[in-house]
Structure 1
Amino acid sequence: MPLRTVVVRKGFYGPLMTQTQKILVTGATGTVGRQVVAELLARGHAVRALTRDVSRAAFPAGVEAVQGDLADPGTLVPALEGVTGLHLITFGGAFFAPLETGPRLLELARAAGVRRVTVLHGGGPSPLEDAVRADDGVDWTVLKPVEFMSNALEWAPGIVASDEVREPFVSRLSAMVHEGDIGAVAAVALTEEGHGGREYVLTGPELLTVGDKVAAISAARGRETALVELTEEEAVAQWRAAGQPEDVIAFLIEVYGNTPEAGRTVVGTVEQVTGRPARTFSQWAAEHADAFTAPAASAAE
């Protein structure tokens, strides 16, 4: 199905609630997948969550856990039975390798009666996303979120231990998005008409510096958090000490030192698709305040 460029207006899409549908969510234990599952449940839909090991997965009540592996499409045949929507990720396996199985997965999905497919963009070209975009047998939607708000959880150990965040390029701007809003957009695209052949860039409602994020976390935890600006050399040393691979370090230097325009431009897609405003980082910080707070000392101490 060819990509369509459209002007989206608030209220353009259908009602919030739709007839109950059964949706298969892959990557269901991941940061975004968990949110897709939660949003579908909240909207009253039946959710099937794919995992490579059912015995180790924990999902909310009402979710049907099914075993399968995107790298082995045949294992999804039982999971696709009776499904109308399919949420896909672009990597799989223990080493998160790019999936080459897109054409076969889509063939099986069409045969099972799947009508709508969402795919979470992985940050660059991928064979699976290419296969989805080329398929004219389903209504597909590509989700392209910018930086996740949950990335701030990487600061939690330093904040808990020493009340500080140590970062380079502290004036960089980010339109970071709440992972729950990614899940909400996915849920709408999987269950409502009007989203086929579209690519949705997803951001939060505001541009934030590193200092803005630290201030929001300080307010949420009720305790001041210091921001220590690192030079590029100091940051590289810190990342190496933490065990980051050299290619990841190079990526961080590039994206933090020269953030792409899309990552620092606010767009209104979340509200346009879901009918509700995108959540702020202050809201996210309040939801996760416990992660940035040291456990209370026991009475015996």
Structure 2
Amino acid sequence: MHVVVGATGTVGRTAVRLLLDAGQEVAAVTRNPAAEIPDGARTVVADPSRPATLADALHGAETVLLSPRAVGDAAAELLSLAGGFGARHVVVLSAATVDHPVGDPRFIRHFDAVEAAARESSLSYTYLRCADFAANSAAWAPQIRSGDVVRGAYAKASTSPIHERDIAEIAVEALLKDAHSGRAYVLTGPESLDQHDKVRIIGETLGRELSFVELPAEAVRSAMLAQGLPDEIPDRLLGSLADYAQHPGPTTDTVERLLGRPARSFRSWAEENTHLFSADGPS
């Protein structure tokens, strides 16, 4: 059985479906009793930051797919518990910033700590150090549904955004195949794009001409806090963008090497998600 911690996250939900499609037994861990989990998976309502609540799910576990944001500071405790129940391998959804530091160091330290917990546990491990997700651009949806201008900070911040399905496919490969044990992979999309590029591509998929207008970072931060977001969100986002505006994030061919095909482009993600940005899309 494969335990997916963070099963309703951007990568986790896709990994659950892929494991089920491969005929695997899956325990999908979520804090939300009303979460929609694919048919065939065992739903486990628990709080990963309190590993004892996962004890029932970990009975019979072979592998764990671990989201650091889901587990908080409890990775070592969770993996010790999993190892005690016989789990043999953990795949950590880490961040490219571990290899290519940007932004506030405290966020990098958290990923470092979870990787260390995996390395020091009784389980073998694989680290997937991911670039920013293409899906992060969904945050622009309210602006795009209401107009043709996206306003934000650091217009020239450049990254190679990765499609969540590429991450999930590699995660499943690493869960099922011993060849990935002890490996750390930096996963990115195929091309570096700045904020202007991303907004333009979304507009082209919608048949609209969209533009990105740069605002001062402090104005963006104030707006995010006014929406009720915790300090951590603008701190994480704006710190990284400031550095990426000076030095573009990495671009690797790791997805192509591991999956035998090119990484999915940002355009492909935008084409699959036009419903998010359409006027009659989610509110």
> TM-score w.r.t. structure 1 length?
0.80
1:142 aligned partner: 127
Q: Does 1:41 align with 2:58?
A: no
Q: CA deviation at 1:253?
A: 3.4
Query: Amino acid of the residue matched to residue 120 of structure 1?
Result: L
1:258 and 2:243 are equivalent in the alignment: yes
Following TM superposition, by how much is the alpha carbon of 1:69 offset from its aligned partner in structure 2, in angstroms?
2.6
Structure 1 residues 258 and 73, CA, compared in 2 at 3 Å: closer, same or farther?
A: closer
Shift of 1:160: 0.4
Are 1:115 and 2:108 matched, yes or no? Answer: no
1:98 alignment counterpart: 72
Query: TM-score, normalised on structure 2?
Result: 0.85
8 A contact 2:157–2:246 mirrored in 1: no
Q: Assess if the C-alpha contact under 8 Å between 1:35 and 1:182 holds in 2.
A: no
**Whole-Å Cα distance in 1 between the matches of residues 219 and 53 of structure 2?**
47
Separation in 1 of the partners of 2:247 and 2:86? Answer: 35
Provide the secondary structure at the position in 1 that maps to 2:213: strand
What's the offset of the Cα at 1:263? 6.2
Listed one character per residue, the Cα deviations across residues 128-166 of structure 1 (whole Å, up to 9, x for unaligned) are: 43211212x322012211111111111100010112211
Where 1:125 maps in the other structure, the secondary structure is helix
Aligned pair in 2 of structure 1 residues 260, 77: CA closer, same or farther (>3 Å)? Answer: farther
Structure 2 residue 63 is the aligned partner of structure 1 residue 63 = no
Alpha carbons of 1:48 and 1:213: their partners in 2 closer, same or farther (altered >3 Å)?
same
Report the AA paired with residue 34 of structure 1: R
Q: Structure 2: how far apart are the matches of 1:113 and 1:245? A: 38
Query: Aligned equivalents of 2:243 and 2:80: distance in 1?
Result: 40
- Does the CA contact (< 8 Å) of 2:155 and 2:214 recur in 1? yes
Root mean square deviation, CA, Å: 2.4
Is 1:147–1:263's contact at 8 Å kept on the other side of the alignment?
Answer: no
Counting matched residue pairs gives 268
SS in 1 for 2:38: coil
For residues 248 and 68 of structure 1, the distance between their equivalents in structure 2, rounded to whole angstroms, comes to 24
Q: How far apart, in 1, do the equivalents of 2:5 and 2:224 lie?
A: 31
Structure 1 counterpart SS, 2:12: helix
* Distance (whole Å) between structure 2 residues aligned to residue 145 and residue 132 of structure 1: 17
Please state which structure has a larger fraction of its residues in helix.
2
- Tell me the secondary structure at the aligned position of residue 108 of structure 2: coil
1:167 aligned to which of 131, 149, 152: 152
Q: Is the 8 A contact 1:176 1:263 kept in 2?
A: no
Q: Which runs of 4+ in 1 moved over 6 A?
A: 260-263
Q: Secondary structure in 2 aligned to 1:29?
A: coil
